[in-house]
Amino acid sequence: MSLPRAAYDPRRVCVIPFPIVPFMRHKRAIGVYAAGALFAMAQWLFLDAAILSAHARPPPDAPYDEVPVHVTFVDWVPGICSTLGMLVVNLINRERLMGEGGGLSLGGWGEGGVVWRARLFLFLGFALMAGGLAGSVTILVLKYIIPEWPDKYEYYGVANVAQNVCIMLSAVVLWLGQNTQGEYEYRLAL
C-alpha cells in the first residue's frame, strides 16, 4: 500500500495552498508600477490641497472676509521628509543589509562595519518617513482640528496625512516588489 504522491509543496504553511497567479512572472514589474502610482498619487493629493488653497476665495455673501487659513511651507515639510526618507531607504544596497558579516574584513557588526552602516542608514530612512507621518498628523491636529475651521479647510490637513501614508505604502510596495525572485520561483513551480 502506498500513499498517493502529494501534489503540494511539503514546506507549505497553509492547508489550502495559495493559487499560482499566472502573471506571477511579472510580479516585480507590477510591484514597481504600483509603487510609482502610489507615489504620484501621494504627491498629487497634497498638490490638490495646495492648489485648492491658492485658489480659495472668501464666500460670495461676505466678499470682504479673509480666508482664515492657507497651506503654507509648514504643510510642505512632512511630505519633503517622507520623500527624502523613501529615497534613503531605496538607495541602500540590499546585499549589504543581509550580510551577517564575519567573512569579509570590512563586513560584520563591528564599529564602522558595512552592515552596521547600512542598517544605520536604513534606520535613518525609516525614521524620516515615520517622522513625516507623525509631523503630518501633528499639523492636522494643531493647525486644522483644534482651531475648528470649517470642513473645507480641514481637508488640507487630511490630504497631508493621506500623502504621507501613501508615500509610506509606496516605499513598502517597492521594497516587497524588489525583493521577490519572480522568474526563479516561477521556473521551480513549473
The residue within the footprint of another protein, chosen from 3, 7, 13, 54 (CB under 8 A), is 54
Residue 97 in the binding site for another protein (CB under 8 A): no
Instruction: For another protein, give the closer residue by CB, 36 or 150.
Output: 36
Residue 32 in the binding site for another protein (CB under 8 A): yes
Binding residues for another protein restricted to 139-178, rule: CB under 8 A:
174, 178
CB atoms within 10 A of CB 39: 19
Instruction: For another protein, give the closer residue by CB, 93 or 109.
Output: 93
Kindly state the cell numbers that stand for 107. 563586513
Alpha carbon distance 166, 169 (integer Å): 5
> Which residue shows C-alpha cell 493647525?
143
Residue 108 in the binding site for another protein (CB under 8 A): no
Alpha carbon distance 98, 106 (integer Å): 14
Counting every residue written for the chain, the total comes to: 190
Instruction: For another protein, give the closer residue by CB, 86 or 161.
Output: 86
Residue 71 in the binding site for another protein (CB under 8 A): no
Q: How far is the CB of 3 from another protein (least distance, A)?
A: 35
Geometric angle at alpha carbon 102, from 96 and 104, rounded to 5°: 65
Of 11, 178, 5, 149, the C-alpha closest to 71 is: 149
Where does this chain bind another protein (CB under 8 A)? 28-29, 32-37, 39-41, 44, 47-48, 51-52, 54-55, 174, 178, 181-184
